[in-house]
Amino acid sequence: MIKNIAIFASGEGTNAQTIIDYFKTSNQVKIALVVSNKSTANVLNRAKNNNIDTLIIDKHSFTETNEVIDVLKKANINLIVLAGFLWMIPENLIKAFPNKIVNIHPALLPKFGGKGMYGMNVHKAVIEAKEKESGISIHFVNEKYDEGKIISQHKCEVSETDTPENLAQKIQQLEHEHFPKVIENIL
């Protein structure tokens, strides 16, 4: 039986593209839907270029109704993958897909997590704290930002000469290398 994934993303979609490419030839896993909260997000173009259905959501329908849940259930979604999706996941969606929503965070949780800790904000905080290592955390999503059960973490060294920009490149390499494999293992 084919497992269907919905990818939620708010921006460029490089992690989404890596996941799409990874499963492109799979006969067991299908990227069935890409969901975004921004109509101008490049991830939507990536989806269209790969013949993947898209859904653009607004805050009200996402947080106050079951419209998104209904679409996900109609698409027989087995796993929701957050790949740079910046909104908090509402409780009704978490309850509808228990332990079926995964997120990737660009730091070693529980450090450098929580509201506002995404993208360059995280990398700047890691550098300012003079951390010797950083990495990625792949975790299940619960009702609080970045506090769900950790599935796996992968590390990289932070040197004294690293800038937030080149740390971001190291982190992105880890994301692209590990996220699709972890998703495959979950499924």
- Taking only the tens place, the pLDDT of each residue in 141-184 is 999 889 999 999 999 999 999 999 999 999 999 999 999 999 99
With 0.75 as the threshold, say if the pTM is over it.
yes
Residue 177: partners with Cβ closer than 8 Å, 6 or more residues away: 154
Of the residues 75, 98, 121, the one at which a domain ends? 98
Bridge partner list, 82: 8, 103
User: Is the domain of 139 the same as that of 162?
Assistant: yes
In the numeric block, the tokens 């460029």 are attached to: 12
Count the Cβ atoms, other than its own, within 10 Å of residue 98.
9
Q: Which domain holds residue 173?
A: 104-187
Residue 86: is its pLDDT beyond 90? no
Q: What is the total count of domains within the chain? A: 2
User: Is the domain of 3 the same as that of 45?
Assistant: yes
Active-site residue, selected from the candidate residues 105, 139, 154, 178: 105
CA 147 to chain centre: 14
Question: What is the CATH number for 21?
Answer: 3.40.50.170
For the question of residue 176 being annotated catalytic, the response is: no
Of the residues 98, 114, 145, the one at which a domain ends? 98
Of the residues 44, 76, 98, the one at which a domain ends? 98
